[in-house]
Amino acid sequence: MTEFGKALGIQETSIPGLLILDLPVHGDSRGWFKENWQREKMVAAGLPDLGPVQNNISFNDEVGTTRGIHAEPWDKYVSVATGKIFGAWVDLREGDTFGAVFTAELDASKAIFVPRGVANSYQTMEADTAYVYLVNNHWSPSAEYTFLNLADETAAIQWPIPLENALLSEKDQAHPRLEAVVPMKAKKTLVLGANGQLGLALRKAMPEADFLTRAEFDVTDEAAYKNFPWKQYATVINASAFTAVDTAESAEGRTAAWLTNVTAVGWLAQACTQNSLTLVHVSSDYVFDGTSPSPYGEDVAFSPLGVYGQTKAAADALVATVPQHYIVRTSWVIGEGNNFVRTMASLAERGIKPSVVNDQIGRLTFTQDLAAGIHHLLSEKPACGTYNLSNEGPASSWADIAAQVYELTGHNPADVTGVTTEDYFAGKEGIAPRPKNSTLDLSKITSTGFTPATWQERLQQYLSS
């Protein structure tokens, strides 16, 4: 008998991610009514945002009809419309909980959320039982499925009606025992822009991810997004960008910057939204004009000075529309390849005494810390949104950093002469405006448990290696 009057509630089970729901059912002598699926209330109560695209109903005439055990590559929200079932769920995902079993009885007042890779099965306990399930991907014969035999001795499911007396399909009876089951692998992470400074650092921090270069996935080609196997992935890290800030001020560069940094990001944001993926996007201090006397927090309004900054601000607005997203805002990036530190070290070795800008203030960001911070966000899963991420340490000018490079490489730091931005670029055309203050407030990301090293520590290590 369906239990009336319960409040909506969600309980965890012995299988991670498998959630039992108590559904409010209202009834009288005429029958009953329930909100079988109510996204706003259920998500607020702790249910993952399913995003259903298909609604299936399995009708069963006889008591003892037994179906499963099937694991599918999508999430399911299961409920009973009429009748009653004994349900058994087995974790067939790759990992420590592989083979874990949970059983429960479901009637119209209960539902269950079944995450991808957890096998679903049931046995009807009443005639004319209708079993209803919402899924967040369309059924496909080519999708990856995993099955377990209903009579598997390891799972040892205590079916109310012994299987020899139940109604089973030949196909279900032929499924393998647990020892022969191939576990369902977790969805992967995709990194675009694999050969850039950040992409190279992510290869070390997240070697299990898939990495695509510009040649393998041209982010500026709309066709590349159309038939790509997005469903294989849970997360996309966009490490691809147009970063030539001065070139962006030219007519040709402006077009290229908007195509890569905005139009392509719009296509990617759309793909991630349609396929329920988490999008990690790297932003820049250039979205601000640098006039703030204090470090920039994540919620400061955009005020870009040049074309590059305008494209990065526009991209941030696009990425923010993706339900699951992390915008990682950084500054003064240093990694493999050509960069400011390498240039200064080369000048020092050649005995050159450079003039370096001393009125632009910020912190270096070494790509190993930027990659580690991204990995931290994806592992710990704090609230989605924007997170500033640079190295810790005092805000310093480019001239201060250059002097430290000279000193750390055994040269005279006094060989570096500080000049204003205006004097440095005097007489030069096509120069992008630079923010004078690029210092980012790091309190939000440190509150999640990630504290990057100081830039001085990383600079010493970088030059030593």
Structure tokens at 19: 């959630």
DSSP state of 214: T
Of 226, 123, 206, 174, the residue nearest 375 (C-alpha): 206
Query: Could you give the CA distance from residue 440 to residue 288 in angstroms, rounded to a whole number?
Result: 10
Given the residues 133, 326, 406, 424, select the one marked as catalytic: 133
Alpha carbons 272 and 391: distance in angstroms, whole number = 29
| Number of alpha carbons in the 13 Å side-chain half-sphere of residue 175 | 24
Residue 461, both tokens: 């290590």
d(CA 347, CA 349): 5
Tokens of 48: 């993952």
Q: Give the span between the Cα atoms of 67 and 82, in whole angstroms.
A: 17
> What's the order of all strands across the beta sheet hosting 325-330?
210-212, 188-192, 233-238, 278-284, 325-330, 385-388
Residue type, 297: G
Cα-Cα end-to-end distance for the chain: 71
Q: Is 146:99 a contact under the CB 8 Å cutoff? A: no
Is 145 among the catalytic positions?
A: no
- DSSP labels, 97-154: TTT-EEEEEE-TTEEEEE-TTEEEEEEESSSSEEEEEEESS---TTS--EE--TT-TT
* Nearest-angstrom CA–CA distance, 9 and 138: 28
CA angle 287, 315, 439 (to 5 degrees): 25
138 catalytically annotated: no
Between the alpha carbon of residue 179 and those of residues 29, 142, 153, 419, 423, the distances in Å are 50, 24, 10, 70, 72
Asked whether the bond before 69 is cis by omega within 30 degrees of 0, the reply is yes
Distances (CA, A) of 441 to 67, 311, 326, 361: 55, 22, 16, 13
Catalytic positions: 70, 133
